[in-house]
Amino acid sequence: MRAKLEVNGVVKRFRAPGTDDRTSGAARGASVEALAGVSLHVAEREFVTLLGPSGCGKSTLCNIVAGLFPPDEGTVLLDGTPLGGTRGRVAYMQQKDLLLPWRTVLDNATLGLEVHGVDRAIARAEAGELLQVFGLNGFGHAYPAALSGGMRQRVALVRTLLCRREMLVLDEPFGALDAMTRTAMRDYLLRLRSEFRRTVLFITHDVEEAVLLSDRIYVLTERPGRVRAVLPVAAPVPRQPTDEGVVRLKAEILELLRASPAGVGG
């Protein structure tokens, strides 16, 4: 299966806190290395998850793949073409839902289509169908303030799907939700896999969530982030937390993460 996304030797550095152009002496230009030569690939229609300690550069890598800023070293290819810091080639869902409080659910869902010049009637019809699929039928004219956290995240997921991109980048979209709501959201992601056939790069700090959803899991080291291990998940979906293969792989991942003093995080 051909690679949809290829990340090759990506390095990213940021200016160290407290340094600026007025800093003199050896501290001038001091930087913090977030990623140190990360390489990974995501095949077409594959669901790949990143796990690693807090601050290991997972979100930084997502921002690079989304085109928000370029790597300092290395390359990122989408469909064999260099990304080059170009935005809009992937659909990106971040940790916060980022719904606009003055727009209704329907108008929030269609925002990406509107930006790309899609006819308003067509956009609203597409959004209405997806809102029903994701259990939001009847809420199209509600405002975000009237929704629960899980409902807001479903609206954000619908908006992401409506961007009409084959590659989705999901950066801990359910991290702030309670356990029961997270479980329900996993079911929606499984539908996304089976019905919408998108390619997904997913970040989560939940090891069980990664094992239940993924085709492959990349485990990163503490900062600067490097690939510690790549683990395939062979069991067919849907999977259950008590399945023997799920329990075994969770234990293997947790053992890998114990070597990271920061633990698992965002």
Domains of the chain (ranges plus CATH)? 1-21+29-90+168-178+198-266 (3.40.50.300), 93-164 (no CATH)
Mean pLDDT of 236-255: 90
Q: Answer yes or no: is pLDDT of 173 > 90.
A: no
Which segment of 25-29, 82-86, 156-160, 246-250 scores lowest on mean pLDDT?
25-29
Q: Residue 20: its pLDDT value, please?
A: 54
Total residue length of the chain: 266
Please give the Cα distance from 86 to 70 (Å, whole number).
Answer: 9
Q: Residue 176: its pLDDT value, please?
A: 66
Q: Residue 86: its pLDDT value, please?
A: 67
Q: Residue 170: its pLDDT value, please?
A: 92
